């Protein structure tokens, strides 16, 4: 099965999924104590921040 990858700007409704991805990557890639800062970053509606979707589901965030 082919994976359809798409990219789009971050939207406020993506916040909870992005936080779930953050949690799934602790402690391998992020420290749990960084969550508060990341959540504040997302709340600020960061310009230039995007999400990656695989078959329509958010699988990553970047920027």
Q: How far apart are CA 52 and CA 58, in angstroms?
A: 6
Q: How far apart are CA 18 and CA 20, in angstroms?
A: 5
Q: What's the confidence (pLDDT) of residue 1? A: 63
> 38: Cβ–Cβ under 8 A, 6 or more apart, which residues?
18, 19, 22, 30
Mean pLDDT value across residues 52-57:
94
Tell me if the bond preceding 27 is cis, omega within 30° of 0: yes
As assigned by CATH, the class of the 5-62 domain is alpha beta
pLDDT in tens, 9-51: 999 999 999 999 999 999 999 999 999 999 999 999 899 999 9
């Amino acid at each position: 099965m082919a994976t359809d990858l798409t990219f789009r700007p971050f939207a406020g409704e993506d916040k909870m999924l992005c936080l779930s991805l953050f949690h799934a990557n602790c402690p391998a890639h992020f420290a749990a104590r960084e969550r508060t800062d990341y959540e504040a970053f997302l709340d600020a509606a960061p310009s230039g921040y995007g999400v990656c979707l695989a078959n329509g589901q958010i699988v990553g965030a970047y920027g």
